[in-house]
Structure 1
């Protein structure tokens, strides 16, 4: 534990020279607050639709510093954490429409990388949603049945323990669904996307946190040394969205953690079946996941999802020994053959969790649009979200602006209570969900 670097591994894979901060007053068509995936995809799709738009992005650090560059790198067809709840609320057809669109984003991200020569270590090899208990196997059976209904087809195949271990040779696995998707270096994706957006003519102001947003006929974003006046402001600040008054009680920042090993030797790699290098995701809400990096390091992530009183997002929370002890215990359960694997990086980041465990998009009075609530499954969902926000900004009535993600009279944003009830509620909710999943 003493040898662990509390540094984000992905940030070491590409050098960054942040752009200049905003130091003046700017007038533009669209100002996007937040230079992560959601904000950058929105800028990208807006420029594709209306190349003449003058778009400025204000980013507190630099693209890829926050959640977009700390993700585990799973490109998945996921819409929130609880698809069954979405079916119960919106029906199978609207849920199927959203599922189909986020699945399409997986393919389009691959095309974007090829078209724009973005080397993000993308491996379109799918992933296994795997069970380690009887309760999780029942969840997989339910997921398979629901996926079959939503797709109108046979659905994914539920693999036996023997079939699962032939793909990933962990003795903890007793079954799995193989799902389309892929693995990516999330930091390289964020940096590549920022480069492409700049080439489209978008201005990104790095090291420019937004201090205040004032709605209006032409809303204003105030920063430390300047301000931006725009026709429309778009808020895409992920787990920091709560800092803006309309969203104060709409989401909570929950910490997610990961560990990255030294590169595995050929001898170590040879101890386990893992021929296609799929990602591994355990079938539970607060999941455990594992994958290889491009240079054959092993990433093992998940464990306890921690909330700290007062919505604490300070970087000191990256050093939480209890989390890494639990991750190491889980790692030994999944991969006892790798007792000699040395972990070098241990880090965390905040995830924007909503009450309904699903994203929210919409518009507020005063020409402010928003998108947040990706709940740790944002790589594909933010790509789709960029199309949603594009059409909301342009005022288009489209298939995207009518997706179930979009807040309207049929979908109000549920709220969290204030502190200290929030801390008690979040921790109680976590324990309740773990209890229910163990008994499912």
Structure 2
């Protein structure tokens, strides 16, 4: 298989010079904890709404280093993981409102990139939700029926195996449904949004981990080298949200992995029908997905969703051989004609998973601390929408975004995960249960 680099492919597509860390005590209007998509979009929309706001972002590494910059790059209309559960809890009207908001974000991200001259390799070419067995075909039909009910209009038909393989020529595909969306270089997107907010006057401190957030009328963000006292604080730490006391049992970090090949030759590309360069996503919870990068590398990602005891997010977990063996086996199942394709990158990262597999936004009781997290691996478009939610919550505006089902209120309660070791046992049992349920024809 050759030598593989256990570094994130996307991180090597753009050079980074980190901003200086925080080395003082400062005062501002809004402090944002986390330099990923959620925090960056919140800062962007706040600055757009109120240009005079003094906004400071603190990031433990550099903007785009975490989940935002190591995502697979699928810009989808997905809200969390389970749209059926959202419909059952909130009804079709509210699910439609949220789905439409995230759908608009797909288009608005493209406009943002063009307007600000950010080359994030954005391709508005949809993606194909594919089925490889009878259970997944059933799920496609159920999802299509639900989408038709929510939208009030007929959704795209389910393609037969023959027609689906004309789009993406995998012998494993038994049917498919085209879904609106786009592909992007996630790291260049994060770096681009960071550049834009800095140009508009937002201060970004990098290499600045946050030790704690002290609540109060004017909460304080404490870091090793200084502190920020602000009128409002936003905690948008994604897979590290659990490191803050109020969210300790609200999220768990689940590992997702990816393989990226060397650039494919014209001869290799010619073996598989894939002219539209659509993304491919398997119709199951622990999905497999595939796509081309701008330079015709093949990304093959997903596979086993691993949880490590004690919410372990250490870098050494990136090198877990189980994940890469499973991905390699899945790759051979989908594309046996690409036996000579060599994967030169193998890496992983964590996503924030919630009990209800859906995002949560709101304000902590007793202080001006706001939060947004819980994208469950589907956050590129949803975080853009979430930035608008946070803008309106922070500014105290009663808008359509402040009323989306994202927002925690008296009718929606965040459910806790159990403490360790019950969490570890439960995570393994839940994984097996989901795999069993999804294997039923």
TM-score range, shorter chain: over 0.9
Q: Tell me how far apart the structure 2 counterparts of residues 43 and 214 of structure 1 sit (CA, whole Å).
A: 21
Residue number in structure 2 paired with 1:226: 226
Q: Is the 8 A contact 2:28 2:231 kept in 1?
A: yes
- Tell me whether 1:370 sits opposite 2:371 in the alignment: yes
Q: Is the 8 A contact 2:264 2:296 kept in 1?
A: yes
Residue number in structure 2 paired with 1:129: 129
Residue number in structure 2 paired with 1:85: 85
Q: Tell me how far apart the structure 1 counterparts of residues 130 and 411 of structure 2 sit (CA, whole Å).
A: 34
Runs of 4+ in 1 over 2 A off after TM superposition: none
Q: Tell me how far apart the structure 2 counterparts of residues 134 and 225 of structure 1 sit (CA, whole Å).
A: 56
Q: Tell me how far apart the structure 1 counterparts of residues 433 and 410 of structure 2 sit (CA, whole Å).
A: 30
Question: For structure 2, which runs of at least 5 residues remain unmatched after alignment?
Answer: none
- Tell me whether 1:310 sits opposite 2:295 in the alignment: no
Q: Is the 8 A contact 2:2 2:342 kept in 1?
A: no
Residue number in structure 1 paired with 2:31: 31
Q: Tell me how far apart the structure 1 counterparts of residues 17 and 351 of structure 2 sit (CA, whole Å).
A: 25
Q: Is the 8 A contact 1:147 1:156 kept in 2?
A: no
Q: Is the 8 A contact 2:2 2:344 kept in 1?
A: no
Per the TM alignment, residue 2 of structure 1 is displaced from its structure 2 partner at its CA by 5.6
Q: Tell me how far apart the structure 2 counterparts of residues 162 and 286 of structure 1 sit (CA, whole Å).
A: 25
Per the TM alignment, residue 61 of structure 1 is displaced from its structure 2 partner at its CA by 0.5
Write the mapping of 1:208-287 to structure 2, written as runs, cut at 5 A: 208-287=208-287
Q: Tell me how far apart the structure 2 counterparts of residues 434 and 215 of structure 1 sit (CA, whole Å).
A: 41
Deviates more, 1:150-159 or 1:397-406: 150-159
Residue number in structure 1 paired with 2:140: 140
Per the TM alignment, residue 155 of structure 1 is displaced from its structure 2 partner at its CA by 1.1
Q: Tell me how far apart the structure 2 counterparts of residues 133 and 63 of structure 1 sit (CA, whole Å).
A: 40
Q: Is the 8 A contact 1:148 1:156 kept in 2?
A: no
Residue number in structure 1 paired with 2:69: 69
Q: Tell me how far apart the structure 2 counterparts of residues 157 and 56 of structure 1 sit (CA, whole Å).
A: 47
Q: Tell me how far apart the structure 2 counterparts of residues 434 and 384 of structure 1 sit (CA, whole Å).
A: 31
Paired residue secondary structure (1:324): helix
Cα deviation, 1:48-70, whole Å, max 9, x if unaligned, reads 00000000000000011100000
Q: How much is the aligned-residue C-alpha RMSD, in angstroms?
A: 0.6
Paired residue secondary structure (2:211): strand
Per the TM alignment, residue 76 of structure 1 is displaced from its structure 2 partner at its CA by 0.2
Paired residue secondary structure (1:210): coil
Work out the number of aligned pairs and report it: 440
Paired residue secondary structure (1:252): strand
TM-score normalized with structure 2 length: 0.99
Q: Is the 8 A contact 1:31 1:234 kept in 2?
A: yes
Residue number in structure 1 paired with 2:390: 389
Paired residue secondary structure (2:213): strand
- Tell me whether 1:21 sits opposite 2:47 in the alignment: no
Q: Tell me how far apart the structure 1 counterparts of residues 432 and 4 of structure 2 sit (CA, whole Å).
A: 29
Paired residue secondary structure (1:138): helix
Per the TM alignment, residue 168 of structure 1 is displaced from its structure 2 partner at its CA by 0.1
Cα deviation, 1:359-418, whole Å, max 9, x if unaligned, reads 000001211000000000000000000000000000111100100010011110011000
Cα deviation, 1:157-201, whole Å, max 9, x if unaligned, reads 211111100000000001111011011000000000000000110
